[in-house]
Amino acid sequence: MQARIDEIAEGIFRLSVHVPDIAPPAGFTFNHFLVMGDEPLLFHTGLRRMFPLLRDAVARLIPPERLRWISFGHYEADECGAMNEWLAVAPNALVAHGQTGALVSLNDMADRAPRVLQDQEAIDIGGRRLRYIDTPHIPHGWDAGVLMDDASGTLLCGDLFTQLGDGPALTTGDIVGPAIQAEDLFRYSSLNPRMGATIRRLAELAPKRLALMHGPSFEGDGAAALRALADDYDRRMRGDLGALAA
Ligand SMILES: [Fe+2]
Ligand SMILES: [Fe+2]
């Protein structure tokens, strides 16, 4: 088994692993993004048991020990299960995450103290800057956040827009419909009253590209896709509140 590697934006490589046994027959895809710079950053470490596969994939692009930054959406096995394996192979690497992630999990769970990013703080990886944005509980996890590469207009949006299957690396097609289907199936999001507003704030970034953790990367009007997703979560909230009141 090998990860499939595609460059979805200049210097941003998608390392994709499809697992047919999860949610068959479509299966489920795990994507990890290596962002190139003088200090390369990996967004999503991969599951702990997937580490050898990911290490080999990264090694096709850079010597793994050159990795400098490890970041991810929130503390969960597929997002960061292999962080300590990465810290072990890359002696200069640090985990970079938000204040909540550090306080709640990473100060204890990461083998080296993390670099703590404030909301909207940019991390300079040498040649490009990635902005960290807090999105608490969205789509799940108190510590949840995303990274925005302003230069290429790419939003590393983690579990937002999760879908099933093994699609193309990059699509210009619909990603909202498949995300609604996956939400109906998994119920993976922590529905909360701020959800629509927080996702609409991401739309203000006007991303040209959305790098999904579970699904193809999307190229096109990212703001429109985010607003449509926000509308669907608002609809779900209204439905759930209506059902509770009935
Ligand atoms: Fe997650
Ligand atoms: Fe995930």
Distance 76 CA to ligand 1 centre (A): 6
Which ligand sits nearest to residue 188's alpha carbon? Answer: 1
Distance 128 CA to ligand 1 centre (A): 26
Residues whose beta carbons lie less than 5 angstroms from ion ligand 1: 76, 159
- What local confidence, expressed as pLDDT, does residue 245 receive? 83
- What local confidence, expressed as pLDDT, does residue 138 receive? 97
Distance 137 CA to ligand 2 centre (A): 13
Distance 110 CA to ligand 2 centre (A): 19
Distance 246 CA to ligand 1 centre (A): 31
CB-CB contact of 33 with 18 (8 Å): no
- What local confidence, expressed as pLDDT, does residue 34 receive? 98
CB-CB contact of 226 with 200 (8 Å): yes
Q: Which residues contact 239 (CB under 8 A, 6 or more apart)?
A: none
Distance 11 CA to ligand 2 centre (A): 22
- The amino acid present at 51, given as its one-letter code, is F
- What local confidence, expressed as pLDDT, does residue 89 receive? 98
Distance 229 CA to ligand 1 centre (A): 17
- What local confidence, expressed as pLDDT, does residue 240 receive? 79
Distance 242 CA to ligand 2 centre (A): 29
Which ligand sits nearest to residue 43's alpha carbon? Answer: 2
CB-CB contact of 75 with 104 (8 Å): yes
Which ligand sits nearest to residue 163's alpha carbon? Answer: 2
- What local confidence, expressed as pLDDT, does residue 246 receive? 81
**pTM for this model (two decimals):** 0.97
Distance 47 CA to ligand 2 centre (A): 10
DSSP conformation class of 27: -
Distance 72 CA to ligand 1 centre (A): 10
- Domains of the chain by start residue, with CATH: 3-245 (3.60.15.10)
Closest CA to 131 of 148, 109, 110, 118: 148
Distance 161 CA to ligand 2 centre (A): 10
Directed axis angle between helix 222-245 and helix 176-186, to 10°? 30
Distance 190 CA to ligand 2 centre (A): 14
Distance 37 CA to ligand 2 centre (A): 24
Distance 42 CA to ligand 2 centre (A): 14
- What local confidence, expressed as pLDDT, does residue 242 receive? 81
Give the torsion sign (CA, 98, 102, 103, 109).
Answer: positive
- What local confidence, expressed as pLDDT, does residue 208 receive? 98
Distance 138 CA to ligand 1 centre (A): 9
15 DSSP β-pair partners:
5, 32
- What local confidence, expressed as pLDDT, does residue 239 receive? 85
Mean pLDDT, the chain cut into blocks of 10 residues (246 residues total): 95 98 96 98 98 98 98 98 98 98 98 98 96 98 98 98 97 98 96 96 98 98 98 92 82
